[in-house]
Structure formats: C-alpha cells, structure tokens
A and B are shown apart, each in its own frame.
Chain A
Amino acid sequence: MFWLPVLVLILVTILLALWPLLRGRGRVDPMEQAVAFYQARKTELERQHAAGQIGDSDFEAAMAEQGRHLLSLGRGRGQVSGDAAARRRRKVAALAMLVLVPGITLAVYLRIGQPGLPDLPLASRPITPQNMDVASALQRIEQHLARNPDDGRGYEVVAPVYLRAGRFTDAAFAYRRVIALLGPSATRHADLGEALVAEKDGIITAEAREAFEKAVALEPGYAKARFYLAVLLEQDGNRAGAIEKLAALAAELGTGPGRMRVEAEIARMRTETGGPASEAGQSIAALPEAERQAAIRSMVDQLDTRLAGGSGTLGEWQRLIRARLVLDEPDKAREALGRARAALAGEPDSLKVLDELAGEIPGKAP
C-alpha cells in the first residue's frame, strides 16, 4: 500500500513537469516582450501628461528616453539555433525527467528511508507486553493529573513509577506535589530526598539533605533518611563518621534487603579507604578525638612490631609508612622505609613503589 501512492506521485510529477513539451508550444520573441514593456511605459507617461502631472518639455524628454532604450535593446540579439538542435535538447530534458529524477529519488530514498515502517500516532500505539502495564497506565494517570493537578494521591501513585523508570526529575516533582497536597510525612520527605539524590547521580544536594532532615525530624528512627544522612557525612569528608552511623543503623535493622543495602554501603566505604576494616577499627572511629589518636597509634605500633618479624607484604609496609606520616612521625616513617627496603630487597617493582613513597616523607632523604 505504500508503493502505489508513491508510484502515482512519481507519475504525476513527471506528467506535470513535462506538460509543456507534451502540449507543444510556439516560442515567444523576447523582443516582443521588451517592446511591450516600453510601450506600457510610454502609455503611462501619456496618462501622466494628460493628467497634468508632468509638463510638456519633461514629457518629451522622458518619451525620448524610452525610445532610446527601445533602440538599444535591438542591438546584440543572439542567433537562435535551429530546429534539429532544439528537438535534441528537448529529448535530453525529457529523458532527464523520465529517468534521472525517479532514479535519483529511489536511490536516495531506499538508502535512508524506511518504506515498511508504518506511522505510530500516540492514540493508536500498539500495546506491547513489556510496556503495556506501566507505560499505558502511566500515560493515563498523567493525563488525569494534567486535568486534576491537585490530586495528591495520583502523584503518590505515579512518583515511584517515575523513580523506577529513571525519570528522576519527574519523580522529585511528583513527590513535591504529594507533600504540598497531602501534607508532610517522614516517608514522603525521604522519598523526595531519594529522588533528588538519584537525579544528581548520587550527590546529596542541600535540598535533598533538607528533605532527609525533615524526615528524621518527623520520625527520628526513619531508616532511609538516616541512611542517606550517613552517606552525606562521607560526602562531606567524614568517612569514619559515616561508617559508624551506618554500622549503628545496620545493628538496628532486622535482616532483610534494607540491612543488606546498608552493609553493602559500609563495605564499599571500607574498601575505598583501605582503612580500618576490622571491628576494632569501627570502635576506634567511635572514640573521642584524643583517645582515638592514642588507639590508632597503638594499632600502628602493633603493625610495626608484626612487620618487624620480616613477613610483611608491600601493601602492609606502605600502610605502616603512611600511618607514620599521618601521625606526623617522619623519623619513624623514614626508619620504617629503610626496613621495608631491606625486607623487600628481592622485589624491584616494590622498591620502585617505595622510592616514590620516600619522596612524600618530609625532611632530609635517608
């Protein structure tokens, strides 16, 4: 059904374009038209003269000018070529229209067009199994909401759908409407915050933070809000604090997806720090500043003693040297570096890493 109208279109185009050739038509002398133009100008001048708009002498001068133009036109007319050449030209023109025009069109269209693809107007969209439920239901609700913008329940239904569909901005908008229309609750604020975080690829913005804080204010134990506020601590640079808060949250949660999510987050933070991965590390992080410093120092000393046995890996030696640097003990760091070099003497790659590390130690080189 597609090619029939296309065929008709091509035929009509050719017929219309070549119509004058089919009909045959005598040529018009260009001279005739020029004469007609200047004749019309003379008539106009005569009319103006008769109406008294121009004086006699002006009229004569203007008429003379028209005559001169007319005379100059007669000069330099080209020779008109013969009938045989004209017939040949017409054949070429007709052939171009009959062959080249449809040819070019089909060649181009078949390369870039999609002749088999039907129209898909929204009203008659075929409902495919995978998007039948969500997509069409969503569309219906959206239409309903467009007419009833104050229907908070509608927004409440549609918001999580948006969130799952990845339309985070729409989800955030819907949650805002829910809160404005149905009033605040911990769940609603936390969901809004979650949508805002998703919208910004995991960054917790000031607005999201505010949402979570409101949720916690309404319901202090609300897990989702606490989770994100803890993650926010990490974002602000306090990873230890974040892990501590998350650990506390995990302890309160019963086993289930919620707890698994929290634990996954804790594990991620630990691997990223390479920091205190042990239970002991967690408890140290919870201590007040002065005690924490002392506890960390004792842990570092433990590590030092253990490595003194000579069984340390490159990673452990690096951690020890870094820890000394963090504790602001450059001499001990340098000393540890020397021992590490001795212990890892057989591994050139490791020595290279240690040389780089040596550059970070302030003061004179060993």
Chain B
Amino acid sequence: MIVEFGHFALILGFAVALFQATVPLWGAIRGDAVLARLGVQAALVHFALLALAFAALTHAYLVSDFSVLNVFQNSHSLKPLIYKWSGVWGNHEGSMLLWVLILALFGAGVAVFSKRLPDDMLGATLGIQGLIASAFCAFLIFASNPFLRMPNPPIEGRDLNPVLQDPGLAIHPPLLYLGYVGFSIVFSFAAAALVLGRVDAAFARMIRPWTLAAWITLTLGIAMGSYWAYYELGWGGYWFWDPVENASLMPWLTGTALLHSAIVLEKREALKTWTILLAVVTFSLSLLGTFLVRSGVLTSVHAFAVDPERGLFILLILIAFIGGSFALFAARASALQGGGLFAPVSREGALVFNNLFLSVASLAVFVGTLYPLLLEALTGAKISVGPPFFNLTAVPLMVPLFLAIPFGQKLAWKRGDLLGAGQRLWICMVLGVVGAAISAYAAGGGPVLALAGIGLGIFLVLGALDDLLERALRGGTGMILARIRAIPQSITAMALAHAGAGLMVIGISATAFETEKIAAMKPGETLALDGYTLRLEGIGPVTGPNYNAIAADFSLRDPSGAELARLRPAKRVYIGRQMPTSEVGRYRHGLSEIYIAIGETSDGQHVDLRAYHKPYVLLIWLGPLLMSIGGILSLLDRRLRIGVPARRARLRPEPAE
C-alpha cells in the first residue's frame, strides 16, 4: 500500500503543481492579491505531497521491496543501511525524484520565509516555480517513474553501482542538487520581476538569501564531488574537466557572478538587466547540467543513466524554459529603468570586472564541454576536449580575477581610489613573492607557474585578511577589540570567502610538487617516498558485508623509523554486480597526504601500486569549505545593505605626488 500511496501522492503533487503554475500567476498579472497568495498554500501542499512520495520510495528501499522495479534494479538486501538510504538517489529515477523534491522545498521555502513580499511578486514567483515543478513532475511520472512495479519480483536485487557505495556519494548529489535547483528560485524571481516589470533594491534583497543558499550548497557539492573523485576513483586527481564536473562548474561560475552583481543591484540599483540575465543564465546552465547528466549524452563515470528518450524529454523542457525566459527577457528588459552611475574605478567597477571574467570563464567551459557533443551530433566524429583546453582558457581567465580580488575589496562605492587601495596591498604582494621563494627553496626548485600560483594564493589570503586588519586599525591602535567586534558580519564573510579562494589556489598549485612512485612490491619489500618509508607487510583477503576484497597491508614509517600508520588499500569486488572498485590507503599529516592505490594482485605474491606524497592537497577542499562558511556568515547577516555613495575621496592620508 505504501508504495502505491507514494505513487498517488506524486501524481497529486503534479496536479497541484499545475494549479500552482496557473492560478497565482494569473492573480499576479491581474493584481488579485488573494489569488496570488494561493501560491503559498499550493507550494506548501506540493512540497508535502512530494515529501510523502519520497518517503514512500525510501521505505521501499529500506525494506528491500523488490516489487518496485527501481528498488530491484538498484538495491540489494545485504547492502549496508546507509547505502539503502543513499541508493534512493543513486539512480536516475530516484535522483530525479530528489531533484523535484528539492525544487518543491525551495518553493515551500519562499512560501514560508518570503511572506512579506508584495503579493503580485510572490504570486508570480511561486507561479513560475510551479511551472518548473510541473514540467519536471511530468518528466518524472511519464518518462522516469520510480514507482513502476513488478508483480512477481525476484528474491534479490541487482545492487547499487559499487562506485556509488560510498559515504561521500550519499551526500554529494543532494548538496549538488540543492545548489542546482536552488538557482531555480532565483530564476523564478527574475522571471517574475520581468513579468511585473519591477527590478529594484527590494528585488535584490529578495533574491540574496536564495542566491547565497544555492551558491553555498553548490560550492560544497562540487567540493564534495571533487573530494570523492580523489579518494574513491583511485586516480589521485581532484578535477578532471569531465563534462559532468563542468556541468556543475558553469552554473557555479555564473552563480558567483550573480552573487556579486546582486550586491551592486541592492546597494546601488545598478546592473539591473545584467543581474536578471545572470539569474536566467545560471538556472539555464543548471538545467543544461541536469540534461547532460540525466540524458546520457555523455559517457563518463557519472552518467549512470542512459536513455535517449529521456534525453529528448529533458531537452524539450530545457528549450521551453531557456527559450521562454530569453524571449521574456528580450521583450521586457528594455522596460527596466536604468540604475545609478559609477566610475570605472569603484567597488561597482571591480564587481563588473569580476562578472566579466567569471562569465567569460563560464563561456570557455561551455564551449569546451559542448563543442565535442555538437561535433559528434553533426559529423559523428568523436573528439575529446581535455584538460589542456581548459588549462589554456578558463584557468588563465582566473588569474587576473584572483589578482583583482584584494583590490576590489578595498575600493569604495561609486568612485574609488586605486592607489590608496594598492598601498597596503604592496606588502601582501611582497609577502606572496617571499612565500613562493620559500616554497621554491623548500622543494628545491619547481615549476615557475606553480610557484607563481602559490604566491598568488598567499597574496589572496593576506589581502583578504588585511581588509579586516585595516578596518580594525583604522583610526589608531586604541579600541581595536571594539572595532573588530564592530566589523559587519558581511565584511568578515567576504574576507573568509576570498581567503578560501586563496587557499584553494595554493592547494592546486602545490600539486605540482607531489611525488609519484609506481612499483610492484612483494611482502617485506620497502619503498622510499619523500623521506617516508612504505613497507608491504602482507596481502590478504577481506570480506565485507556485500563485497570481497584483496587488501594490501602497508606500514608507513617516518625518516626516524617510527611507525606512523598502517595503510590498507584494497581492490574490492562487489557480489551483486561483480564489479571491481579500488579502495585507497591514505595518511594525513598536517594538510598533506600520503596516498596509495593498488592495482591487480594477480598471484597474491606481489602487488602493483601507485604511491603519492601530496603536499598541502587538503587545501583544495578546505578552500571551498571556507568559501561556503563565508557564504553562511553572509546569509546570517540579515541587515539591509545600502550603498553609501562616496562624495569625495575618503579622509585618509594620500601619498605625496
């Protein structure tokens, strides 16, 4: 009964979404507040119904109800409990259900937290959210229904893809979806603003928390995915410019741009059309990402769903929404009033600079990701655009952007003073160069670009923190504590997020200094790795709950010979699908790691392995973590943000000319 009840709730949710897509929008356009406000109820009921459906499917997974086709195909009675939970979204149908549930969650979030919005804006926003929800509910019900049944089910299921049986993957998709889908609400706000012809500071204030929430989860989701790839796929890499990764990076780049342009809109009422356009583009890229991953047009580790019919369905949704919103934009954007003016050298100017580079970087990723697909569709030729393309396009675009961040932080609104901003930053730059020189000395040389990257990262971190320091010291050394406490939360948030970017740059640059050793070892043999010693103590079988494994047992010793840890990398074979996966052995010291992955152990006598020493590798993920902490801090700062136009140069000592 529970399964069918869930199925019914899903379909009822679809019908309610249709109601939500029409009535409140109609009310908003007609100026009928009561009708527009019906969107609030509809959004809440829609969310409740989808939550019921999701709970029913989860229940079917937990009790291994193989009469549900989806459970049979993706679960196994012996699977550990956590993967019975995560198995719900570890497959196409279930993950689309999660997608729609999160869409409903954001709609309900607006219904609960934004009750004080103008009626027409609320109705139009929820109506457009309902439109998106209807489209994806229809896709779910008619093309990817997770509730299809089998009357005489087999006694055992086919198990979840072993690569996905990992705690990282239990959290990665929900986080990523929260980010992707979170931008839907920003899109709905933007489309509503276009329909109603109202874009102002109040609008920017409305979208800020939602943009931030989506951005935070997307940041965490991408970082988590990268970390998962690092330790689960056994290649030791953290970013592969895989189309699926790019699909999440594109909305992140434009979403980051949107975050910044919305600040300009809220503070200065400028960049109106641009902000709206970014909101539309960001969600379009999220839809594109969903299409790329869910349609199976790509063949990569992530694309575990392959079905061209579904692809066509999503493609139609994609075209309808992107085409519709751009048409709306073209028709209505000119009606928006122009905003405040500002000088090129100003906080606004710096944020435009940021937007420009982020958008172009996103475009580069877009071309690199879609060009091979387009070429294959048109000519049948299969080419792959690998890391070299992205390293030559998107990465160089990031360098001037990162260089400019600390300056942007210091510029005043409306018109700023670049020389004044640069004054203190010289010190940070010098310290960056010194840091790079120290790294070069410590590592005995190294690639110039990597050293420059480390210098850049240090400059970014110090520049971000210096902003806080300057505010604390402004006006003498007394009362420092009081002034630190008086620093607005949003300023601290900005400094943390930018410092996070710096840490990530350092982490990525440091990968140039890693050591890789490939060897075949017999028990008792040792391998030297940057002063550490690995000794293979033995090879033996291990039996897990639903897999069998051959594990190698290594002891890791430091230069003095003391044993630091035992590392047990393994090759697992999952019983259900007979699929081998690699389990790596890792030892963390400080922010660096020793990383071992083993290959085949053909005869049980020796083992092929790759061992790495990866200095400061954890910074790659700690950086984004700090960025999202900055985002959370900014989200918690609910003060109104009003740009105070600087009438004249601030009262600060000017350098003699």
In the complex, are the beta carbons of B65 and A62 less than 8 A apart?
no
Residue numbers in A under 8 Å from B269 (CB-CB)? 69
In the complex, are the beta carbons of A62 and B642 less than 8 A apart?
yes
Residue numbers in B under 8 Å from A104 (CB-CB)? 11, 14-15, 18
Residue numbers in A under 8 Å from B340 (CB-CB)? 65
In the complex, are the beta carbons of B1 and A58 less than 8 A apart?
no
Residue numbers in A under 8 Å from B303 (CB-CB)? none
In the complex, are the beta carbons of A65 and B645 less than 8 A apart?
yes
Residue numbers in A under 8 Å from B52 (CB-CB)? 9
Query: In the complex, which residues 25-67 of chain B have their Cβ closer than 8 Å to any Cβ of chain A?
Result: 26-27, 30-35, 37-38, 40-42, 44-45, 49, 52, 60, 63-67
Q: How far is the CA of A10 from the CA of B3 in the complex (A)?
A: 17
The verdict on A27 contacting B14 (CB below 8 Å), with A58-B647, A114-B4 known, is no
Residue numbers in B under 8 Å from A275 (CB-CB)? none
Residue numbers in B under 8 Å from A119 (CB-CB)? 1-3, 60, 63, 65, 67
In the complex, are the beta carbons of B642 and A41 less than 8 A apart?
yes
The verdict on A17 contacting B5 (CB below 8 Å), with A10-B12, A104-B15 known, is no
In the complex, are the beta carbons of A109 and B11 less than 8 A apart?
yes
In the complex, are the beta carbons of A90 and B34 less than 8 A apart?
yes
In the complex, are the beta carbons of B32 and A17 less than 8 A apart?
no
The verdict on A112 contacting B12 (CB below 8 Å), with A89-B27, A120-B65 known, is no
* Chain A contact surface mostly: helix
Residue numbers in A under 8 Å from B643 (CB-CB)? 62
Q: How far is the CA of A112 from the CA of B140 in the complex (A)?
A: 12
Residue of A nearest to B56 (CB): A119
Total count of chain A residues near the partner, CB < 8 A: 81
In the complex, are the beta carbons of A139 and B65 less than 8 A apart?
no
CB distance from A252 to the nearest CB of B (A): 35
Judged by a CB distance under 8 angstroms, whether B116 is at the interface is yes
| Residue in contact with B640 in the complex, picked from A40, A57, A113, CB distance below 8 Å | A40
In the complex, are the beta carbons of A113 and B7 less than 8 A apart?
yes
In the complex, are the beta carbons of A33 and B116 less than 8 A apart?
yes
Residue numbers in B under 8 Å from A18 (CB-CB)? 38, 41
| Residue in contact with B118 in the complex, picked from A5, A34, A93, A97, CB distance below 8 Å | A34
In the complex, are the beta carbons of B639 and A44 less than 8 A apart?
yes
Residue of A nearest to B156 (CB): A139
The verdict on A115 contacting B4 (CB below 8 Å), with A33-B117, A44-B640 known, is yes
Residue of A nearest to B3 (CB): A119
| Residue in contact with A138 in the complex, picked from B4, B64, B155, CB distance below 8 Å | B155
Q: How far is the CA of A313 from the CA of B17 in the complex (A)?
A: 77
Q: How far is the CA of A81 from the CA of B26 in the complex (A)?
A: 13
The verdict on A93 contacting B23 (CB below 8 Å), with A33-B116, A72-B337 known, is yes
Residue of B nearest to A120 (CB): B67
CB distance from A164 to the nearest CB of B (A): 15
Q: How far is the CA of A135 from the CA of B151 in the complex (A)?
A: 17
Q: How far is the CA of A20 from the CA of B15 in the complex (A)?
A: 19
The verdict on A113 contacting B35 (CB below 8 Å), with A122-B64, A122-B77, A169-B578 known, is no
Q: How far is the CA of A101 from the CA of B21 in the complex (A)?
A: 12
Judged by a CB distance under 8 angstroms, whether B149 is at the interface is yes
In the complex, are the beta carbons of B38 and A21 less than 8 A apart?
yes
Residue numbers in A under 8 Å from B67 (CB-CB)? 117, 119-120
Query: In the complex, which residues 23-77 of chain A have their Cβ closer than 8 Å to any Cβ of chain B?
Result: 25, 27-28, 30, 33-34, 37, 40-41, 44-45, 48, 51, 54, 57-59, 61-62, 65-66, 69, 72-73
In the complex, are the beta carbons of A16 and B14 less than 8 A apart?
no
Q: How far is the CA of A131 from the CA of B486 in the complex (A)?
A: 73
In the complex, are the beta carbons of B645 and A93 less than 8 A apart?
no
In the complex, are the beta carbons of B4 and A113 less than 8 A apart?
yes
| Residue in contact with A81 in the complex, picked from B32, B155, B639, CB distance below 8 Å | B32
CB distance from A171 to the nearest CB of B (A): 11
| Residue in contact with B19 in the complex, picked from A10, A97, A122, CB distance below 8 Å | A97
Residue numbers in B under 8 Å from A136 (CB-CB)? 155
Judged by a CB distance under 8 angstroms, whether B473 is at the interface is no
Judged by a CB distance under 8 angstroms, whether B466 is at the interface is no
Residue of A nearest to B67 (CB): A120
In the complex, are the beta carbons of A33 and B645 less than 8 A apart?
no
Q: How far is the CA of A143 from the CA of B644 in the complex (A)?
A: 70
Judged by a CB distance under 8 angstroms, whether A80 is at the interface is yes
Judged by a CB distance under 8 angstroms, whether A327 is at the interface is no
In the complex, are the beta carbons of B63 and A122 less than 8 A apart?
yes
CB distance from A165 to the nearest CB of B (A): 10
Q: How far is the CA of A139 from the CA of B156 in the complex (A)?
A: 8
Residue numbers in B under 8 Å from A57 (CB-CB)? 647
Residue of A nearest to B147 (CB): A113
Query: In the complex, which residues 464-500 of chain B have their Cβ closer than 8 Å to any Cβ of chain A?
Result: 486
Q: How far is the CA of A236 from the CA of B89 in the complex (A)?
A: 47
In the complex, are the beta carbons of B647 and A13 less than 8 A apart?
no
A-B contact count, CB below 8 Å? 206
CB distance from B119 to the nearest CB of A (A): 6
CB distance from A87 to the nearest CB of B (A): 10
Residue numbers in A under 8 Å from B149 (CB-CB)? 114, 117
Judged by a CB distance under 8 angstroms, whether A6 is at the interface is yes
Mark each residue of chain B from 613 to 633: 1 if its CB lies under 8 Å from any CB of chain A, else 0: 000000000000000000000
Judged by a CB distance under 8 angstroms, whether A78 is at the interface is yes
| Residue in contact with A54 in the complex, picked from B18, B116, B337, B644, CB distance below 8 Å | B644
Residue numbers in A under 8 Å from B42 (CB-CB)? 17
Mark each residue of chain A from 96 to 130: 1 if its CB lies under 8 Å from any CB of chain B, else 0: 11001110110011001111011111110100000
Judged by a CB distance under 8 angstroms, whether B587 is at the interface is no
Residue numbers in A under 8 Å from B40 (CB-CB)? 20
Judged by a CB distance under 8 angstroms, whether B374 is at the interface is no
Judged by a CB distance under 8 angstroms, whether B9 is at the interface is yes
CB distance from A211 to the nearest CB of B (A): 15
The verdict on A146 contacting B12 (CB below 8 Å), with A33-B116, A113-B4 known, is no
Residue of B nearest to A3 (CB): B8
Residue numbers in A under 8 Å from B375 (CB-CB)? none
Q: How far is the CA of A2 from the CA of B6 in the complex (A)?
A: 11
Judged by a CB distance under 8 angstroms, whether B601 is at the interface is no
The verdict on A45 contacting B63 (CB below 8 Å), with A90-B35, A96-B23, A146-B545 known, is no
In the complex, are the beta carbons of A101 and B16 less than 8 A apart?
yes
Judged by a CB distance under 8 angstroms, whether A142 is at the interface is yes
Query: In the complex, which residues 59-94 of chain B have their Cβ closer than 8 Å to any Cβ of chain A?
Result: 60, 63-67, 77-78
Residue of A nearest to B577 (CB): A169
Judged by a CB distance under 8 angstroms, whether A263 is at the interface is no
Q: How far is the CA of A364 from the CA of B78 in the complex (A)?
A: 72
In the complex, are the beta carbons of B65 and A121 less than 8 A apart?
yes
Judged by a CB distance under 8 angstroms, whether B592 is at the interface is no
Q: How far is the CA of A6 from the CA of B11 in the complex (A)?
A: 12
The verdict on A81 contacting B35 (CB below 8 Å), with A9-B8, A34-B118, A108-B11 known, is no
| Residue in contact with B34 in the complex, picked from A2, A5, A20, A170, CB distance below 8 Å | A20
In the complex, are the beta carbons of A20 and B38 less than 8 A apart?
yes
Residue numbers in B under 8 Å from A290 (CB-CB)? none
Residue numbers in B under 8 Å from A218 (CB-CB)? none
The verdict on A108 contacting B66 (CB below 8 Å), with A19-B41, A146-B545 known, is no
Judged by a CB distance under 8 angstroms, whether A338 is at the interface is no
Q: How far is the CA of A62 from the CA of B643 in the complex (A)?
A: 8
In the complex, are the beta carbons of B16 and A118 less than 8 A apart?
no
A18-B38, A105-B14, A121-B65 are known; give 9 further A-B pairs, CB within 8 A.
Answer: A65-B645, A69-B200, A96-B22, A101-B18, A119-B1, A122-B64, A122-B77, A150-B543, A173-B575
**Footprint of B on A, CB under 8 Å?**
1-2, 5-6, 9-10, 13, 16-21, 25, 27-28, 30, 33-34, 37, 40-41, 44-45, 48, 51, 54, 57-59, 61-62, 65-66, 69, 72-73, 78-81, 85-86, 89-90, 93, 96-97, 100-102, 104-105, 108-109, 112-115, 117-123, 125, 131, 135-136, 138-139, 142-143, 146, 149-150, 169-170, 173, 180
A-B contacts, 16 of them at CB < 8 A, read: A1-B1, A13-B16, A20-B40, A25-B34, A28-B33, A33-B117, A41-B642, A61-B645, A62-B645, A96-B19, A105-B12, A114-B149, A119-B3, A121-B60, A121-B63, A136-B155
Closest 4 CB pairs of A and B: A121-B63, A149-B543, A120-B67, A27-B33
